[in-house]
Structure 1
C-alpha cells in the first residue's frame, strides 16, 4: 500500500532518474577513451597502411566521430531531462488522486 503511494509521489522516479544519470556518466567515462583508441587505430592505418591506409582509416574515423556525438548527445539529453523533470502530488479530483484515496481507505 505505501509502495504505490510512494511510487506515485515521485520518490522512486527520482531514484530511477539518479540511477540513469549515473549510468550515462559511467558509459561516458568508458566511451571517451574508446573514441580516442578508435582515432588512434585510424591514425595508425592512415600513417602505416600504405596506399590502402586512407581507405582503411576512414571507417575508424567516422565511427569515432559518430560514437563521440552519441556519447555527448546522451549526456546533454540526460542533463536536460534531469533539469526539466519534476514530480508533484496529484491534485484532487483526478483519477490518480482517487486511486491514492482508495489505497488509503483499504
Structure 2
C-alpha cells in the first residue's frame, strides 16, 4: 500500500488514490512493522489511517506492541496519533500460544 501511495504521489494522483481507498468499507494492513517504512511512507500510511478513522473498518495485524510503533512510523508522536485513533473505537485481539505455521510445519 505504501509503495502504491508513493507512486501515486510521484505521479500527482495521490488524491485520486486516497479517494479510491476511501470507497472500501474495510481496509486490512497485514504485518505492520515487518518491513521498514521511510518517513514519507509513514506519512502516507498515517493519512490512510487518519482518513479511515470513524469512516471505515480498519484491520491491522502486527507482532509489535504499541510501544514499538514509533520505530515503524519513524516518530513517536505520529505513532501515538495512529494508536489514539485505533483504540478509540477499536478492539484489540491478542493471540497467544504456538504459531499455527510452526505447529503444522513439515520440517520438525
Q: TM-score, normalised by structure 2?
A: 0.22
Q: TM-score, normalised by structure 1?
A: 0.23
Considering only CA atoms, is the larger Rg found in Structure 1 or Structure 2? Answer: 1
